[in-house]
């Protein structure tokens, strides 16, 4: 029987580009075998086969544009296909649960770090469309002579992006039916939000099953995000601190990099935390199921693991499926073009490096690679570094990096990247842009995209926004009352500590307790050099929303501790309600700003005013005195600076 395989519903998208055709006439394919790769301006997706059989005709080619209903290929299914496929090589095996790649470490680099240098959004794939990183297909499986090889399955993951296969519905089977064991609470995803939710629910007496696609618990943050990046940032700071002491009378030798040992140390930090999570899960009797989860109904999740598919029925569910790196459309497939996950592997640190996107992730990785010896350039499409942060907080960082980096290009776009034998030739568009430049590596750090469109949420009746977020109320409930969503997949900002707070709320509500989320104070920290941190209302938000504030600021040049550290380039500012004097927001730039921001976050939460903060005795000499000084500037009691009375 001849069957047409068509493009499913891909949301509000038409004329979508075909960037790869993965099958040809004669191929014998299984259900879920990828047929073509489509790419919108927000994401790439594989369209899997919905019927098994032998491909008789392929109607698409690279460069074609398709919409819902476009015919991809025709196949012979059933007995006819079985007869013609006799002797054919086995079809691509089902996709297994992804585990982080274990790339072999290259030999130790002889590149010297800068020790003595002078300071100088997500498309809407249907339930049968698989979200995947845009990458070349894997090599076909071997076949015996004279036999047609089956198309190979796409790679399971690229960076922290995992291919999400379609749920396997038997013919005539309604979505949500099927066998499988029953669990009380299912948590999808074991990142900071997911494991917090699972552990809190277990502490409240619930029987919890935690589904995780990775080989280790902890999600992106612990494995390929927050934790390994902070380990490398610490290494970078040691190099920079040693270099800065030269002009103060202590001269160290030129640092020598042993990249394999540095990678191993970074991995050991990650291993201690992920290993701790295993212990905590066992202690709380949280069941861990490995595999990629997708909904097949409002009470059923299918998990595709190494041993096949399993369906789990749940009474309640908490979605903590996170996000993945956003990718720029049209970039060539080249191993020298990295996402944040690839950059953390430190493939090489010599030569020129371009970082596209100057948000927190891009700027943190710039600090790492600059300290380790790369010649860094930055390009950002907006007028300032770290978009969304108050410009005055960014200026000390910008002054520092402009004296060190080769290019800092604002209001600039990357027009194209051309792979060449000697590097990546990058062209730019914008005002006062340089001529095309050659780079050894390019890091794409243009943000992250929530995974709301990759878990077949529509099969459970869950609403998902066009950008991939799942709307929730203050109890973290979705529009399906027994299903919750937390963390990156629920709403920005995409921060681990926000996800952990929401995870506790969702677990407590699921356990029958009264709880709700309060998003007024979500601190943000950029672990750059200098660090930048803010919490509560920002000056930019106050101006845009017409909120009157009274600002107190304290420059670190007047703080003894910052002077003793040789880093007086920072300041602390506090924003108060002019009528009640209550603290509304704060921003800090300087060494250890991320450690200082919690005091002001607590002050906002507790409704403290300027006098409360100023009358709190802060130890001397510490950087925390700058918080008291900013409050005293508003209260009129500051003695460390002379402020003319108005």
User: What's the token pair of residue 446?
Assistant: 């243009």
| pLDDT of 277 strictly over 90 | yes
Least confident of 6-10, 138-142, 280-284, 627-631: 138-142
**Other beta carbons less than 10 A from residue 420's beta carbon:** 9
Express as a percent the part of the chain with pLDDT over 90. 74
Four-point Cα dihedral 306, 307, 312, 318, nearest 10 = -10
Q: 482 preceded by cis ω (within 30°)?
A: no
Q: pLDDT tens digits for 89-139?
A: 333 333 333 333 333 333 333 344 443 333 333 333 333 333 333 333 333
Residues 488 and 359 in one domain: no
CA 48 – CA 33 distance, rounded (Å): 5
In a domain, 558, yes or no: yes
In a domain, 125, yes or no: no
CA 7 – CA 16 distance, rounded (Å): 10
Residues 441 and 586 in one domain: no
What is the average pLDDT across 144-164?
A: 34
CA 288 – CA 281 distance, rounded (Å): 8
Catalytic residue status for 513:
no
pLDDT on residue 589? 98
CA 583 – CA 549 distance, rounded (Å): 9
The residue assigned the tokens 């307790």 is 513
In a domain, 94, yes or no: no
In a domain, 585, yes or no: yes
What is the CATH classification number for the domain harbouring 356? 3.50.50.60
CA 71 – CA 81 distance, rounded (Å): 19
Sequence-distant (6+) residues with CB within 8 A of 271 are none
pLDDT on residue 8? 85
First to last CA, the chain: 88
Specify the higher pLDDT residue, 525 or 329: 525
The tally of domains found in the chain comes to 4
Q: pLDDT tens digits for 387-433?
A: 999 999 999 999 999 999 999 999 999 999 999 999 999 999 998 89
Q: Report how many helices (DSSP H) and strands (DSSP E) the chain contains, helices first.
A: 14, 33
Residues 494 and 593 in one domain: no
Query: Which of 52, 80, 108 is at the close of a domain?
Result: 80
| pLDDT of 496 strictly over 70 | yes
Name the catalytic one among 234, 501, 618, 620: 620
| pLDDT of 160 strictly over 90 | no
In a domain, 465, yes or no: yes
Residues 462 and 551 in one domain: no
CA 363 – CA 528 distance, rounded (Å): 7
pLDDT on residue 179? 55
Residues 376 and 460 in one domain: no
Express as a percent the part of the chain with pLDDT over 70. 83
Query: Which of 428, 446, 464 is at the close of a domain?
Result: 446
CA 644 – CA 264 distance, rounded (Å): 56
Sequence-distant (6+) residues with CB within 8 A of 286 are 198, 199, 202, 208, 209, 210
Least confident of 2-6, 35-39, 324-328: 35-39
Instruction: Using pLDDT thresholds of 50, 70 and 90, give the confidence band for residue 291.
Output: very high
pTM over 0.85, yes/no: no
Residues 200 and 309 in one domain: yes
In a domain, 504, yes or no: yes
| pLDDT of 572 strictly over 90 | yes
Residues 455 and 438 in one domain: no
What is the average pLDDT across 272-301?
A: 97
In a 3-state reduction of DSSP, which class is residue 204?
coil
What is the average pLDDT across 285-303?
A: 97
Q: How far is CA 430 from each of CA 139, 140, 434, rounded to the nearest angstrom?
A: 40, 43, 9
What is the CATH classification number for the domain harbouring 8? 2.40.50.100
pLDDT on residue 151? 32
Strands 407-409 and 181-188: unpaired
Query: Which of 59, 80, 101 is at the close of a domain?
Result: 80
Q: pLDDT tens digits for 501-550?
A: 999 999 999 999 999 999 989 999 999 999 999 999 999 999 999 999 99
In a domain, 364, yes or no: yes
Instruction: Using pLDDT thresholds of 50, 70 and 90, give the confidence band for residue 10.
Output: low
Provide the sign of the torsion angle of the four alpha carbons 640, 642, 643, 645, taken in this order. positive
Instruction: Using pLDDT thresholds of 50, 70 and 90, give the confidence band for residue 18.
Output: confident
**Mean pLDDT in the chain?**
85
In a 3-state reduction of DSSP, which class is residue 222?
helix
Residues 478 and 585 in one domain: no
Residues 195 and 304 in one domain: yes
Residues 313 and 418 in one domain: no
| pLDDT of 596 strictly over 70 | yes
Sequence-distant (6+) residues with CB within 8 A of 554 are 571, 572, 573, 626, 627, 629, 630, 633, 638, 640, 641
Strands 407-409 and 375-379: parallel
- Angle, alpha carbons 357-363-369 (nearest 5°): 110
Residues 442 and 487 in one domain: no
Q: How far is CA 91 from each of CA 132, 146, 152, 452, rounded to the nearest angstrom?
A: 20, 15, 8, 30
Specify the higher pLDDT residue, 176 or 565: 565
Q: pLDDT tens digits for 33-61?
A: 889 888 765 455 778 888 889 999 999 99
pLDDT on residue 68? 86
Q: What is the domain extent for residue 470?
A: 181-325+450-510
In a domain, 140, yes or no: no
Q: Do residues 55 and 75 lie in contact, with contact meaning Cβ atoms separated by under 8 Å?
A: yes
Residues 320 and 385 in one domain: no
- Edge to edge, the sheet with strand 437-439 lists 412-420, 423-430, 437-439
Q: Is 15 left (phi over 0), alpha (psi -120 to 50) or beta?
A: left
């Amino acid at each position: 029987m001849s069957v047409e395989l068509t493009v499913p519903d891909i949301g509000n998208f038409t004329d979508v580009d075909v960037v790869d055709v993965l099958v040809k006439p004669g191929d014998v394919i299984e259900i879920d075998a990828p047929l073509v790769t489509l790419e919108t301006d927000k994401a790439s997706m594989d369209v899997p086969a919905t019927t098994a059989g032998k491909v008789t005709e392929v109607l698409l080619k690279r460069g074609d544009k398709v919409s819902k209903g476009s015919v991809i290929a025709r196949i012979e299914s059933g007995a006819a296909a079985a007869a013609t496929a006799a002797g054919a090589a086995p079809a691509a095996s089902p996709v297994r649960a992804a585990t982080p790649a274990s790339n072999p470490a290259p030999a130790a680099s002889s590149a010297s770090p800068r020790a003595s240098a002078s300071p100088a959004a997500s498309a809407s794939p249907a339930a049968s469309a698989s979200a995947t990183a845009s990458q070349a297909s894997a090599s076909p499986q071997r076949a015996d002579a004279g036999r047609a090889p089956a198309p190979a399955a796409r790679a399971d993951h690229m960076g922290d992006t995992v291919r999400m296969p379609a749920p396997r519905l038997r013919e005539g089977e309604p979505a949500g039916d099927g066998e499988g064991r029953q669990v009380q609470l299912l948590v999808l995803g074991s990142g900071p939000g997911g494991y917090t939710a699972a552990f809190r629910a277990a502490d409240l007496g619930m029987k919890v099953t935690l589904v995780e696609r990775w080989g280790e618990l902890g999600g992106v943050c612990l494995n390929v995000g927050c934790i390994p990046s902070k380990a490398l940032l610490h290494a970078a700071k040691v190099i920079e601190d040693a270099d800065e002491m030269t002009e103060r009378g202590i001269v160290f030798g030129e640092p020598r990099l042993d990249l394999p040992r540095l990678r191993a140390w970074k991995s050991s930090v990650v291993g201690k935390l992920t290993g701790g999570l295993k212990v905590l899960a066992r202690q709380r009797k949280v069941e861990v199921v490995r595999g990629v989860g997708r909904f097949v109904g409002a009470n059923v999740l299918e998990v595709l693991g190494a041993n096949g598919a399993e369906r789990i029925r749940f009474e309640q569910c908490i979605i903590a499926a996170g996000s993945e790196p956003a990718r720029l459309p049209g970039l060539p497939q080249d191993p020298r073009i990295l996402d944040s996950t690839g950059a953390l592997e430190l493939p090489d640190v010599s030569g020129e490096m371009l970082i596209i996107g100057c948000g927190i992730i891009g700027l943190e990785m710039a600090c790492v690679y600059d300290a380790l010896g790369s010649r860094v350039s930055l390009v950002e499409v907006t007028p300032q570094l770290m978009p969304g942060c108050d410009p005055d907080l960014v200026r000390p960082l910008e002054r520092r990096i402009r004296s060190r980096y080769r290019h800092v290009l604002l209001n600039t776009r990357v027009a194209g990247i051309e792979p060449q034998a000697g590097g990546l030739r990058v062209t730019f568009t914008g005002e006062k842009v340089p001529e095309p430049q050659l780079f050894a590596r390019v890091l794409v750090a243009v943000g992250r995209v929530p995974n709301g469109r990759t878990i077949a949420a529509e099969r459970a009746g869950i609403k998902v926004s066009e950008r991939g977020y799942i709307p929730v109320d203050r109890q973290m409930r979705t529009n399906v009352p027994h299903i919750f969503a937390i963390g990156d997949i629920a709403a920005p900002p995409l921060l681990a500590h926000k996800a952990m707070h929401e995870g506790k709320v969702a677990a407590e509500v699921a356990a029958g307790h009264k709880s709700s989320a309060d998003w007024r104070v979500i601190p943000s920290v950029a672990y750059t050099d200098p660090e930048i941190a803010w919490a509560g209302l920002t000056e930019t938000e106050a101006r845009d929303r017409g909120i009157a504030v009274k600002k107190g600021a304290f420059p670190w040049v007047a703080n003894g501790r910052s002077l003793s550290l040789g880093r007086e380039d920072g300041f602390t500012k506090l924003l108060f309600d002019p009528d009640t004097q209550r603290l509304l927001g704060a921003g800090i730039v300087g060494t250890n700003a991320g450690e200082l921001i919690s005091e002001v976050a607590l002050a906002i939460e507790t409704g403290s005013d300027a006098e409360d903060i100023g009358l709190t005795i802060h130890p001397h000499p510490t950087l925390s005195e700058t918080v008291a000084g900013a409050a005293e500037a508003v209260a009129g009691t500051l003695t460390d600076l002379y402020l003319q009375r108005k």
